[in-house]
Amino acid sequence: MRKVTFHPVTQADLQEVLTLERASFPHPWSAEHIFNEIHSPHSFPLLARLEDGSCAGYICPMLVLDEGQILNVAVQPSFRGKGIGMMLLEAALELFREKGATVVYLEVRPTNATAISLYTRCGFITIGRRKAYYENGEDAILMKYELPMKKEEHHAV
């Protein structure tokens, strides 16, 4: 496996993220939506790059107070099945840990077996369903990951 590094998404990466979105989702985010996530104080999108500089995937974590949300994750079709999705999720969970999140949620289509299996391997558990969540009326499975409290946050009794 080639080396993968993670970088905060900047405006200069917008076109690559847009291409990745279009290759990955039936209803991809628009350039404006990606722009807003890049500039949102609550979102911390990360890009995975290979050694040759090519864009392998990206993830969009969002944090409000101590509650995290994975808004989006996508890997270039030609790089799927090599563990990059897992690395992106681990990078996002590390970022959530650093920023003091205690819980992370995400929604996924019940038909997206690859994504569900990936999230489960990462430690997410299914906690419910959101009815007719997607544009086509499909429900979403709601998944949750609890982050252990940092040692120094445990209160002495």
Q: Which residues are catalytic?
A: 107, 119
Which listed residue (55, 60, 62, 75) binds ligand COA by CB under 6 A? Answer: 75
The CB-nearest residue to ligand COA is 85
Which listed residue (34, 38, 63, 73) binds ligand COA by CB under 6 A? Answer: 73
Instruction: Spell out, one character per residue from 28 to 67, where the chain touches ligand COA: x when CB under 6 A holds, - when not.
Output: ----------------------------------------
- Taking the CB of residue 20, how many other CB atoms lie within 10 A of it? 24
Task: Say if strands 103-108 and 67-75 run parallel, antiparallel, or are unpaired.
Answer: parallel
DSSP characters over 89-101: HHHHHHHHHHTT-
Which CB sits closer to ligand COA, 82 or 97? 82
User: Segment near ligand COA (CB under 6 A), from 7-15, 76-84, 128-136, 141-149?
Assistant: 76-84
> In which element (H, E) is residue 55 found?
strand 55-64
Regarding 141 and contact with ligand COA (CB under 6 A), the answer is: no
Side-chain half-sphere exposure of 53, counting CA atoms within 13 A: 1
Q: How far apart are the first and last CA of the chain?
A: 48
Regarding 81 and contact with ligand COA (CB under 6 A), the answer is: yes
* Alpha carbons 88 and 145: distance in angstroms, whole number: 15
> Residue numbers of the site for ligand COA (CB under 6 A)?
24-25, 73-75, 80-86, 108, 112, 114-115, 117-118
